[in-house]
A and B are shown apart, each in its own frame.
Chain A
Amino acid sequence: MKREYWQEELEVLHRNELKKLQVERLQATLGHAGRSPFYNKVFQQKNIKADNIKDVEQIWDLPFTTKQDLRENFPYGFLTMPKKEIVRLHSSSGTTGNPTVVFHNRHDLDSWANLVARSLFIAGVRDTDVFQNICGYGLFTGGLGFQYGIEKLGALSIPAGAGNSLRQIKLMRDYGTTAAHAIPSYLGRLYEVFEAEGLDPKKDTQLRIFVIGAEPHTDEQRRRIEEMYGVKAYNSFGLTEMNGPGVAFECEYQDGMHIWEDAYLVEIVNPDTLEPVPDGDYGELVITTLDRQAMPLIRYRTRDITRIIPDRCKCGRTHRRIDRITGRSDDMFIIKGCNVFPMQIEGILLKIPEVGSDYMITLETMNGNDEMVVEVEVKKDWFRGDIRRLESLTRSITAQIRDEVLVKPAVKLVEAGSLPKPEGKAVRVIDLRNGGIKN
């Protein structure tokens, strides 16, 4: 059987040609970037000119861009064009500090939708599929990002949103859903609801493909999901700063994720020295956008640790593959599909004198559900012996953290002095989840 492609000419483009395309697009990207207040300043200081770029390796001479840069230049410091041209923004959560925001013009949205469509296509999704997108819509990129990709591909989309498992199952059965996107931890929970309803997804649905991602999981977890539902489950990778979904995706061989090198210039660097590492070695993933106009990013440090899989994939596509994300070069963690920085939680606790700023976050799997337990100390000077006050304090901290990181924590009060004190680099997060990835 002849292999099908979404964009054959691009997907199997000879690597020399691919590099030429990258150089052209890098020049164009630098041209766009130079019109943003942030890069304009950087380029002037470092005397960077788009025309001087003749080779992709010259990317090593350009400065990195960090999340900190995005925050410090919030909201419009990276914008290359008037707001009139911008049609959408996506943003990280956050009520304290500056969120990470990314702006798109029409070209950017089209390009993104195409990358998502290409990604779904290589995982086997076709225009004959009924695709249920089980994830939050809104500022989060997984909702609209997949939505536009599914529509571009031509499959029938069901914008189901997150949660409400009984409704998810009903949608699957009413409309004969064949493909779905969800975070892996949710699929475990959803299966329990199937069982409780006396249903077997293998017999009682027409599911054949799951697209999973947005949170760390192991290959064993993937195989378990495949067995439970009788489907093929494909890993995916994306981040808001790089549009969202559609950055890297597994093909039929399920052996690493093809990163779309016509749209993203990939580097793996040693997170300490920031020097490039050879293909096959683990390091921090650094990405430069090659097809974004409104808000290009140059050498953006994703903080995700992975490696380039050195060999050519059996599928014949020339775009290299990245391995599963094995950790982070900062302290961010992902739970229930949400990115959480301990600093966000610390910021909330600092404002509550009754508990002070010592805290410990434990991620654990309880009855198949991932939980974020936040332990805080009851400070001696503020203790009045009033049980109601402590209970309402617990509720208030729970609500504030949930509003900030979009995950409801289990807040536990502990005795003063029982949590480790910050000495140098304190360990604030313990990951005990099944298949949890340690930093």
Chain B
Amino acid sequence: MAYEISIFLENKIGHFKRVTTVLKENKINIRSIFINDTANGWGILNLLVDQPEKAYEVLSEKSISVALREVIALEMKDETGGLDDLLLQVAQAGVNFNNAAGRIIEATGRAILILDVPDYEETIEKLKKQGLKILDDSTVYGRQNESN
């Protein structure tokens, strides 16, 4: 099971950097970024990092509003139409999602699609029935590349 961290951020100069500085100081690597913006001067920053639990702890210590959220990671081919093929299957499984983020696993020809869904358990069942492989967390967080 994989987690992303979600952070409440005001749309003000330097606020995003406050988060990245804390992560850098704690040697936490960001794998992907997705910002959900609103018209009200704030947004939610969704980060996929290599150590989500630790990131949650160190950001919490700085009194930053942060949440750990379960996400679903699916594998796709890193080639033209790879995402389209995967989304066809997700649609056939009858799964709708709120947010998505993607990233490439280096030198493997594979990529990962991260889905943030309203109903985690139910969605996992649907995707499994569809024959899709849910990736384990170390693949998602990219821990095998930590030495890079």
Contact = CB atoms under 8 A, between A and B. Distances in A.
Interface stretch (B34-42, B72-80, B88-96, B103-111): B34-42
A84 interface: no
Contact of B8 (A378, A391, A394, A412): A378
Contacts of B7: 385
Contacts of A412: 40-42
Contacts of B9: 415
Nearest to A388: B98
Given A391-B38, A413-B40, A413-B42, A418 B10 contact: yes
Given A412-B41, A413-B40, A415-B9, A385 B46 contact: yes
A413 B38 CA distance: 11
Interface residues on B, range: 20 to 34
Given A390-B8, A415-B10, A415-B15, A380 B42 contact: no
B44 A416 contact: no
Nearest to A410: B40
A378 B65 contact: yes
The winner among A380, A388, A391, A418 for most chain B CB atoms within 10 A is: A380
A415 B8 contact: yes
A380 B8 CA distance: 9
B133 to A, nearest CB: 26
A162 to B, nearest CB: 27
Given A415-B65, A416-B63, A383 B41 contact: no
Nearest to B116: A385
Contacts of B60: 380
Nearest to A417: B63
Contacts of B42: 390, 412-414
The winner among B42, B65, B98 for most chain A CB atoms within 10 A is: B65
A173 interface: no
A380 B64 contact: yes
Contact of B36 (A383, A387, A413, A417): A387
B29 interface: no
A397 to B, nearest CB: 12
A413 B8 contact: yes
B40 A415 contact: no
Contacts of A417: 63
B49 interface: no
A314 interface: no
A144 B65 CA distance: 49
A415 B36 contact: no
Interface string A377-420: 01110011111101100100000000000000000111111100
A343 B13 CA distance: 32
Interface string B5-26: 1111110000100000000000
A385 B69 contact: yes
Interface residues on A, range: 10 to 19
Contact of B67 (A383, A391, A394, A416): A383
B66 interface: yes
A14 B133 CA distance: 97
A394 B41 CA distance: 12
Contacts of B69: 384-385
B3 to A, nearest CB: 10
A391 to B, nearest CB: 7
Contact of A416 (B5, B65, B98): B65
Contacts of A418: 10
A414 B10 CA distance: 6
A250 B96 CA distance: 66
Nearest to A379: B65
B98 to A, nearest CB: 8
A418 B18 CA distance: 13
A390 B8 CA distance: 10
B64 A385 contact: no
B66 A380 contact: yes
A413 B41 CA distance: 8
A414 B43 CA distance: 10
Contacts of A380: 60, 63-66
Contacts of B41: 412
Nearest to B41: A412
Interface in A67-113: none
B40 A394 contact: yes
A417 B63 CA distance: 7
B58 to A, nearest CB: 13
A419 to B, nearest CB: 12
A386 B36 CA distance: 10
B77 to A, nearest CB: 30
B6 to A, nearest CB: 3
A384 B67 contact: yes
Contacts of B98: 388
20 contacts: A380-B63, A383-B8, A383-B65, A383-B67, A384-B69, A385-B5, A385-B7, A385-B8, A385-B67, A387-B36, A391-B38, A412-B40, A412-B41, A412-B42, A414-B10, A415-B8, A415-B9, A416-B63, A416-B65, A418-B10
Interface of A: 378-380, 383-388, 390-391, 394, 412-418
Given A383-B66, A385-B67, 11 more contacts: A380-B63, A380-B66, A383-B6, A383-B67, A384-B67, A385-B7, A385-B68, A387-B36, A387-B38, A387-B44, A414-B10
